[in-house]
Amino acid sequence: MTTTVLTESPQQAAHFIREGEVVAFPTETVYGLGANLFDEAAIRKIFASKGRPADNPLIAHVADLSQLRLVARDVTRAAQKFIAAFFPGPLTVLLPKSERVPLLATAGLETVGVRIPRHPVAREFLSACGVPVAAPSANLSGRPSPTTWETVQADLDGRISCILKGDQTEVGLESTVVDCTGVVPVVLRAGAITLERLREVIPETRLSEGGAGELPKSPGLKYRHYAPQAGVVLVAQPHEASPAANAAYIGIGAHPQAASFGRHRACDSVEDYARALFLFFRQCDAAGIGLIYCQAVTEAGLGLALMDRIRRAAEKHEW
Ligand code: TXA
Ligand code: MG
């Protein structure tokens, strides 16, 4: 059992990284669980503290473009274009890894995912760390990604050295992951940098076979993700959800019998829905809800990522 220090100081949090410890920190997507990328003992602590399978690679977070060269052997033409258009932001580019990046962090792969977050606290923290920071989402493996520091604490208190406190995250879903190592860029995980926006930069960009989340190249995607304890059911229209005290509903349209649900959330937009989803899942679990109805949205723009996460949550069985 470790004492988990709560702080609002990026400098104090960065001190723990330099000491070889793991630290949860806010980004614009979800909270990350960081450690010095070049310190294998620290990387091991990430896998241990969240119970993450060793075959699931970590994303390298860097403060600025000068650090990119430390982690990537080659920055491909496609990556250069996406970086120019979308960094800093909720996008991860896969590149050939440099020799310094331990295979432990990439789960044995010769590629590394790299991202520069745009969240000001994350950037201050990463600058203060002075090293690239490997970070998965800061949840216990198999639980929904954390969008507030309180949910990080609920999962990892006593298991990590520090939580850098920030606001509820702005996007609410994990970054877009795009493989830039081949001839044509391939989206392995949909996110807030949408397929449409990537195609404005490189029109040939495609989704990986099997859709927005079926990732032969992304080992993490074979695990059940984003899943609350409750069952999750997709409905096209609000009235298809059956009201009950132990059921919940979330969607863009309000349910006509909103008050008959244990929890009910009508969202203003797809953006609002994405921001709210993971916290809603956790609140439903805390309230002992057995079934969560999620209204489907159009699979365009951010809706593609949102539907990917809802479908994964609705998946009943371990893959
Ligand atoms: O928004 C985000 O990406 C957040 C914040 C903290 O930056 N991080 C995050 O990390 O969601 P994680 O580990 O929960 O998800 C990373 C995903 C996994 O599905 C993993 O398998 C995939 O990216 N991934 C990472 N490196 C990869 C690589 N070299 N090749 C293929 N897939 C990779
Ligand atoms: Mg994760």
The tens digit of pLDDT for each residue in 6-60 reads 999 999 999 999 999 999 999 999 999 999 999 999 999 999 999 999 999 999 9
Predicted pLDDT of residue 215: 42
- Could you tell me the distance, in angstroms and rounded to a whole number, from the CA of residue 136 to the centre of ligand 2? 5
Residues 70 and 139 grouped into a single domain: yes
Mean pLDDT for 148-173 is: 98
Q: Does 218 contact ligand 1 (Cβ within 6 A)?
A: yes
Predicted pLDDT of residue 319: 35
Q: What is the rounded distance in angstroms from the CA atom of residue 242 to the CA atom of residue 244? A: 6
Look at residues 198, 216, 215, 217 and name the one whose alpha carbon lies nearest to residue 206. 198
Residues 191 and 91 grouped into a single domain: yes
**Residue 178 tokens, joined:** 């795009």
- Split at pLDDT 50, 70, 90, the class of 225 is low
Predicted pLDDT of residue 142: 87
Residues 199 and 235 grouped into a single domain: no
Distances in Å between the Cα of 277 and the Cα atoms of 12, 119, 177, 237 are 31, 20, 20, 17
Mean pLDDT for 84-89 is: 98
Look at residues 114, 113, 106, 115 and name the one whose alpha carbon lies nearest to residue 55. 106
Within a domain: residue 218? no
75 CB-near residues (< 8 Å, 6+ apart): 68, 69, 83, 95
Q: Does 71 contact ligand 1 (Cβ within 6 A)?
A: no
**Ligand 1 pocket, mutate which of 37, 177, 224 (most atoms under 8 A from CB):** 177
Helix, coil or strand: residue 50? helix
Residues 119 and 242 grouped into a single domain: no
Ligand 1 atom with the shortest distance to the CA of 217: 31
Residue 157 confidence (pLDDT) above 80 = yes
Residues 184 and 50 grouped into a single domain: yes
Within a domain: residue 118? yes
Predicted pLDDT of residue 227: 77
- Split at pLDDT 50, 70, 90, the class of 222 is low
Predicted pLDDT of residue 210: 56
Q: Does 217 contact ligand 1 (Cβ within 6 A)?
A: yes
CA-closest residue to ligand 1 atom 29: 112
Predicted pLDDT of residue 160: 98
CATH number of the structural domain spanning residue 53: 3.90.870.10
Residues 172 and 244 grouped into a single domain: no
Residue 255 confidence (pLDDT) above 90 = yes
The overall average pLDDT reported for the chain is 94
**Measured CA angle at 148 (ends 11, 163), to 5 deg:** 30
Within a domain: residue 304? yes
Share of the chain above pLDDT 90, in %: 90
- Could you tell me the distance, in angstroms and rounded to a whole number, from the CA of residue 289 to the centre of ligand 1? 29
Look at residues 175, 169, 172, 191 and name the one whose alpha carbon lies nearest to residue 278. 172
Ligand at minimal distance from the CA of 30 is: 1
Residue 163 confidence (pLDDT) above 80 = yes
Domain range for 294: 231-314
CA-closest residue to ligand 1 atom 17: 220
Q: How many domains, the chain?
A: 2
Mean pLDDT for 251-273 is: 97
**Strand partners for 249:** 264, 293
Within a domain: residue 319? no
Predicted pLDDT of residue 139: 96
Mean pLDDT for 108-120 is: 98
Residue 317 confidence (pLDDT) above 70 = no
CA-closest residue to ligand 1 atom 7: 32
Mean pLDDT for 237-257 is: 96
Within a domain: residue 66? yes
Residues 151 and 269 grouped into a single domain: no
Q: Does 141 contact ligand 1 (Cβ within 6 A)?
A: no
Ligand at minimal distance from the CA of 34 is: 1
Count of other CB atoms within 10 angstroms of residue 77: 10
Could you list which residues have their CB under 5 Å from ion ligand 2? 136-137
Ligand 1 atom with the shortest distance to the CA of 109: 29
Q: What is the rounded distance in angstroms from the CA atom of residue 8 to the CA atom of residue 186? A: 37
Residues 268 and 124 grouped into a single domain: no
Ligand 1 atom with the shortest distance to the CA of 112: 29
For β-strands 5-7 and 162-164, DSSP reports them as: parallel
286 CB-near residues (< 8 Å, 6+ apart): none
- The model's pTM: 0.95
- Could you tell me the distance, in angstroms and rounded to a whole number, from the CA of residue 134 to the centre of ligand 1? 10
Q: What is the rounded distance in angstroms from the CA atom of residue 275 to the CA atom of residue 30? A: 10
Residues 164 and 78 grouped into a single domain: yes
Q: Residues 45, 58: contact at Cβ < 8 Å?
A: no
Predicted pLDDT of residue 217: 52
For β-strands 32-36 and 23-25, DSSP reports them as: antiparallel
**Strand partners for 7:** 164
Mean pLDDT for 216-227 is: 59
**Residue 167 tokens, joined:** 């606001």
Q: Does 88 contact ligand 1 (Cβ within 6 A)?
A: no
CA-closest residue to ligand 1 atom 3: 175
